[in-house]
Amino acid sequence: MQYLNLEEINYIDEKFSKISKQFGFKKIFPKSVSSMEASIDYYKNTKSSLVKIIDFEGEVNILHEDPTISLFDSKILNEKIYYLTNTFSWDKSIENLKGGVENFCEESVIADAEIIIIANELLKNLNLDDFTIEIGHTHFIEKLLNSDGISRSEKIRLNNAIHNKNIQKIEKILNELDISNENKNALIVLSKLFGDYESILKNATELNISELKPIIDYLTKLKKILLIYKIDIKKLKIDLSLTNKYSYYDGMIFNSYIRDYGKKILQGGRYNNNDKQGVGFSFNILNLIGVIKMTNYNLAKNDYTVITNSSNNEKALYLATALRENGLNVNLMENELEYDVIKNINSAFILSIQNDLVNIISKNTNEVYKKSYNEFIEGINSTKLESIH
């Protein structure tokens, strides 16, 4: 696993915890290890390469890639939980850090909407404005794929083609299968049902496909609740060809993407055909940190770095002390004010003193401005901190 900056993780954890607690969720730490026997049913239909460990008695255990699966076999006192935990898969990184929320409840549109709102608010609170949430439903596609006795390997091929909206490949695969013309047409239509929430809901209704009616009713109710929460409906897309690599999802599923960032930043949905029913989502911390940095938003918890050298040591020490006495985090650095130094500093503001002036560099806005040293110190001591910038 690549080096993790705990301040960056704490920044996300604070935002995530705040919104989760507002909705009544309690924080837990899921276990990372389960027996092979207890977990294999959940992993057998995924493309995951599992990390296995063998104890001294020869028992094979699995290091979880998906925290939700470890929670299925746990005794959880609270129905509504959230977490940050390590996960494992046999890829380049092997170990990852994931966060997520789970509401272990029976099927409920209100509970589903609440999970989507938490995801929406988390992304907003992380200053990620250019995101979309794609919402789908597994029932229609699963019914079509199971109705003609399609094999598991054929189902995976077809699922991938539908998810990628590759119409030519879908038609090619369907022509190779012994499948009814009605289901062939429905699967081709399915791959085209993607776009703005309201327009796709309208288009799906006009298709008059009986199997779609329960899903249309569900999406209509979901929209009504989400609007009560004042969600920006333009952020939402419907994708009825949406699939998920975890086989336990059975119902609403959703993913979230940021423009110009190729990976999912959130994924989740509802599961109803297991010992534990519920709804939730998860996210990879490193992906989330990566996309936040891509937007040039500063994750640093150090509010200020004060650069000092032999010519201004005394003034720099007074300035740093005054800032700390007002509850701010200050990193004092002995160096020259050069480009390579500035580039590697992770603070919201960089301050340097030149004669009787304070040079102020904002890393968030890339602005540079100056203020007299005495005026800057007076602004700090008067606690009117907004006046010092």
Q: With b meaning 16 or more CB within 10 Å and e meaning fewer, what string describes 143-155? A: ebbeeeebeeebb
| Residue 330 clears pLDDT 50, i.e. is over it | yes
pLDDT of residue 43: 55
Last residue of a domain, one of 267, 294, 321: 294
What's the mean per-residue pLDDT of the chain?
80
Based on the domain organization, do 60 and 143 belong to the same domain?
yes
Contacts of 85 (CB under 8 A, 6+ apart): 29, 30, 32, 67, 97, 98, 99
Is-contact 191 241, C-beta < 8 A?
Answer: yes
| Residue 209 clears pLDDT 50, i.e. is over it | yes
Q: Count how many domains the chain has.
A: 2
pLDDT of residue 342: 77
d(CA 182, CA 204): 16
Confidence of residue 65 (pLDDT cuts 50, 70, 90): low
Based on the domain organization, do 231 and 142 belong to the same domain?
yes
Q: Which domain holds residue 136?
A: 6-294
The answer, as to whether pTM is greater than 0.85, is no
Last residue of a domain, one of 294, 325, 346: 294
pLDDT of residue 25: 95
The identity of residue 207, as a single letter, is L
| Residue 155 clears pLDDT 90, i.e. is over it | no
Most confident of 4-8, 113-117, 158-162: 113-117
- Rounded to a whole number of angstroms, the CA Rg of the chain reads 26
Based on the domain organization, do 311 and 287 belong to the same domain?
no
Better-scored residue on pLDDT, 312 or 330: 330
pLDDT of residue 263: 82
CB-based burial label for 105 (10 Å; 0-12, 13-18, 19+): middle
Better-scored residue on pLDDT, 248 or 343: 343
Based on the domain organization, do 135 and 100 belong to the same domain?
yes
Based on the domain organization, do 185 and 273 belong to the same domain?
yes
Confidence of residue 1 (pLDDT cuts 50, 70, 90): very low
